[in-house]
Structure 1
């Protein structure tokens, strides 16, 4: 009887000839037993958490400035890819078996410093007109901006400690992120923000419920007070409509 190989068996037979390549975007390694290295490896996932946060904010708040900020991070990543293929500098030799892509500049460092510097500009320039100058408000600004800087330093140090990049690759990535954050914030603040009131009147923006909160000093407080007032008004209305027993 003729031996006919099934497609499934052919896949298993040829499986040894397949060269498997890890997805470099998510693969993070650290020395076994090194708790500090494990912490740095976990912190290197911060850009993915920030990206997930952007998507969540855009879906639930649909604010034009948040969308512009997120678009800037995408352009920043594209810039990093272009620079890597122009410079063509390899990663440290210890990572040669994992990565076929270039290492100059570090994409993690470029991303995290772009995000941090943009947040700094946002609080220092975009929110400077807030009338609430209480100690609590100032303390929250210091905590948020300070946390971003600490996170940026930890992520940058971790890329060198875990041998994913050289010190020069991380420094250059951070500098590029800082410069592009300055350029992008200037474009958003000076060029795009004045156009937001006209953009939100477009039919597409109305269909997607995209809004502009530029002129609202404290969005969180505004949404909190508006929601509370609406809830109370509806509560009084429901009480008035309730039949008397």
Structure 2
């Protein structure tokens, strides 16, 4: 018996939030693994937000905006094509299946990263063994993740092979266009944008010309810490 003041259960049908709901056959270890892997886009999205909040780099912000535009384009295509998911998933989810949003997102991200490495990072010394291993690891990681997510969507019967393939193709084309727009049109404007008053208030910055941002930040913070420690020594002596 419900007590006075308790919330009464709402009547009507309840619908799952299909954006994050992932099902797999009970007892199927491979299916469970693919279900976990299919959450990769959400991890990437969280990583974008963390980088934007703590780095404030214009290129990262532009990259993130590109992923949002890519997702909006996917929704538009789904409602234009209106192709249902495989029969095993009909009735469980209201949104359409063509093209696969997971596949499109992952191949957009992967394609953009590859362009970034081979075009934006060409000035880094890639002759060292460590640099080559790092580049190979990054490319293998993003490509492997995209392939695993794509296979998982078919294995878990969320999409057909054709829906996943079209999603991958659209993601590739979208990333190509967005990278061209960013590299050829937006990047030359970054030095002007960071000088805007709103950019100064938001602490936005442009690191385009810095070959290795992590090493630059490490050396800069170490030099600043040493300089401040030298200033503190005379004060302690007093």
TM-score range, shorter chain: over 0.9
Q: Pick the aligned partner of 1:125 from 119, 122, 135.
A: 119
RMSD, matched Cα = 1.5
Q: Which residue of 1 aligns with 2:232?
A: 238
What is the TM-score of this pair, normalised by structure 1?
A: 0.93
Q: Which residue of 2 aligns with 1:160?
A: 154
Which stretch shows the higher mean deviation, 88-97 or 77-86? 88-97
Q: Pick the aligned partner of 2:217 from 197, 201, 223.
A: 223
Report whether the alignment pairs 1:148 with 2:142: yes
Q: How many residues align?
A: 236
2:174 and 2:5 map into 1 onto residues whose CA distance is 51
Quote how far apart the aligned CAs of 1:97 are: 2.7
Deviations 1:96-153 (A, max 9, x none): 1320110000000000000000000000001101236321012111101110000000
1:174 and 1:131 map into 2 onto residues whose CA distance is 31
Report whether the alignment pairs 1:188 with 2:185: no
2:150 and 2:203 map into 1 onto residues whose CA distance is 38
Deviations 1:162-198 (A, max 9, x none): 0000000000000000000000000000000000000
Q: Which residue of 1 aligns with 2:89?
A: 95
Q: Pick the aligned partner of 1:29 from 23, 42, 46.
A: 23
Report whether the alignment pairs 1:202 with 2:201: no
Quote how far apart the aligned CAs of 1:44 are: 0.2
Runs of 4+ aligned residues of structure 1 deviating over 2 Å after TM superposition are 6-9
Q: Pick the aligned partner of 1:53 from 22, 30, 47.
A: 47
Q: Which residue of 2 aligns with 1:136?
A: 130
1:105 and 1:131 map into 2 onto residues whose CA distance is 39
Q: 1:218 to 1:133 in 2, by over 3 A?
A: farther
Which ranges in structure 2 are unaligned for 5 or more consecutive residues? none
The SS at the match of 1:242 is helix
